[in-house]
Amino acid sequence: MTTSPGRRGTGRKSRRLKQVCGHYLRVTRCFLLSFFLGHSPTMLKAMKNDGVMHDKFLEWAEKYGPVYRLNVLHYVTLCTYCPEATKEILMSPKYPKDKSVYKRLFYLFGQRFFGDGLVTARDHERWYKQRRIMDPAFSSLYLRGLMGTFNERAEKLMDKLAELADSKKEANMLQLVNCVTLDVIAKVAFGVDLDLLKNSSPFPKAIETCLKGMVPYLSDIFFEYNPKNRGYVNEVREACRLLRTTGAKWIGERKTAMQNGDEVPKDILTQIIKTASQEENMTEEDEEFMLDNFVTFFIAGQETTANQLAFCIMALGRHPEILEKAKKEVDDVIGMKRDISYDDLGELVYLSQVLKETLRIYPPAPGTSRDVAEDMVIDGIHIPGGFNVIFSSYVSGRLERFFKDPLRFDPDRFHPDAPKPYYCYYPFALGPRSCLGQNFAQMEAKVVMAKLLQRFDFTLVPGQTFDILDAGTLRPKSGVLCTLNHRDYKNK
């Protein structure tokens, strides 16, 4: 087809006009989108295709330094890794947990979820009252008494691993340790035997569904209104309801036992019942409040420890020399003993270092956030009050300025004589709102790891990814597939 010069000129002009208009529209759209949504689209993009949001925070921290600003919708959010600000804010009871996250988690897609339980309570008095009542179930005296359960449940895992070693089948370590930590929390916290390595149960899936559901729920306020997400949203609500109805059943059974004068353990469930009204006649809200803490402990007390264990096995599988050193320590301290004692745990110093280093690079609960009402100076920058601030242990743990060659897995960073990290390592958070279950979790993790190292040689199945999956908590994407061989530990 021939075109006249005039028409060709008009064609060029109109193309140019289209280009200019297109560009202008794109810029305007970007401007309007960023005006209304702030960095939300960038963050959603970062999380697409299984991306980890904290990797974006790390990239920005490296680019912009110790404090930078994010606009999430119309909220002003700061991210900081400044150790002084971390200390000042997290160590003080003055700054409540950030309402855009913790208040929102009262519900999950409209279904009551964490409610006003221990992790999400924002009012200081209400939180403090609960924490004081829960403390005895985490005292070192009480925890010592749990060594029997930790040993017994870890033994069930060893039996399962022995079967897999005999049959030369691959082990999905994340799935297996998930069963153990869920068995432990059900038994220790609520006095219920699940025995998940033998029996099937809807709980692991329900917990995973709730946690995964938290990611779009927190990051995209429009998610639940999009008709194409309706099926998924209903699935999450259903999972959440399952946890709460189970809680109601278990709490009911325990209350009946208490009313009948039966002897009941002073476990987490008993304390949960105490955190609600002390009156004979509980209100509906008291009942709901107990369920808030039931869900809180079921979720907070299980996934995180399982993920730490799986990451630890992955890291050891990638570092044979560190694995050998850890095995040697286990052989020296426990030898061929079956039951590990509380005192043995204190002597497994290198294993503690390995677990700490695992949490530096792979913190399962990577961050926390607070609301700050007043003006503040962070790293020399004056910040007007009325902002919220995100702290990421993931970011600090991976910054060269705090940890030399940060991606190198090196447990000697946590050698007892090494200098302690200064407000840049906090996988259990810091201050009054730090993890109540930290000692519980590390005792449980040590018992499982010590038995695993004592009994088995394991190798990572080649070709699997070492990527991280952000599914509400951080976990190894591959599931950590291993082949296992029995160690001749009885002849040592």
Helix (H) or strand (E) holding 118: none
Please identify, using beta-carbon distances, which residue of 40 and 358 lies nearer to ligand HEM. 358
CA distance 348 to 329: 7
Nearer to ligand HEM, 165 or 345 (CB): 345
Q: Which residues pair with 99 in a beta bridge?
A: none
Query: Site map for ligand HEM, 286-315, x if CB under 6 A?
Result: -----------x--xx--xx--x-------
CB closer to ligand HEM, 134 vs 333: 134
* Residue numbering of the annotated binding site for heme: 435
Q: How many CB atoms lie within 10 A of CB 139?
A: 11
CA 379 to chain CA centroid, Å, is 28
- Judged by beta carbon, residue 23 or residue 132, the one nearer ligand HEM is 132
Instruction: Say whether residue 427 binds ligand HEM (CB under 6 A).
Output: yes
Three-state secondary structure along 232-294?
A: HHHHHHHHHHHHHHHHHHHHHHHHHHHHCCCCCCCCHHHHHHHHCCCCCCCCHHHHHHHHHHH
- Least Å distance, CB 270 to ligand HEM, is 14
| CB of 11 vs ligand HEM, minimal distance in Å | 59
Query: Which of 96, 364, 476, 479 is close enough to bind ligand HEM by CB under 6 A?
Result: 364
92/283 with CB nearer ligand HEM: 92
d(CA 117, CA 129): 11
Strands 387-392 and 75-80: parallel
Residue number with CB closer to ligand HEM (81 or 297): 297
**Among 107-115, 201-209, 341-349, 428-436, which window interacts with ligand HEM (CB under 6 A)?**
428-436
Size of the site for ligand HEM (CB under 6 A): 21
Q: What is the distance between the alpha carbons of residues 89 and 93, in angstroms, rounded to a whole number?
A: 8
H-assigned helices in 276-416:
284-300, 303-318, 320-334, 342-347, 349-361, 393-397
Instruction: Name, in order, each residue with C-beta under 8 angstroms of 445's C-beta and a sequence gap of 6 or more.
Output: 305, 308, 309, 312, 355
Draw the binding track, 76-115, toward ligand HEM (x: CB under 6 A; -: no contact).
Answer: ----------------------------------------
- The answer to whether 96 and 63 are in contact (CB under 8 A) is no
The tokens 């994407």 sit on which residue? 477
Residue 414 in contact with ligand HEM, rule: CB under 6 A: no
List 403, 428, 456, 458, residue binding ligand HEM (CB under 6 A): 428
**Which of 131, 144, 241, 477 is the binder for ligand HEM (CB under 6 A)?**
131
For binding to ligand HEM (CB under 6 A), which residues are involved?
118-119, 131, 297, 300-301, 304-305, 308, 364-365, 368, 427-429, 433, 435-437, 440-441
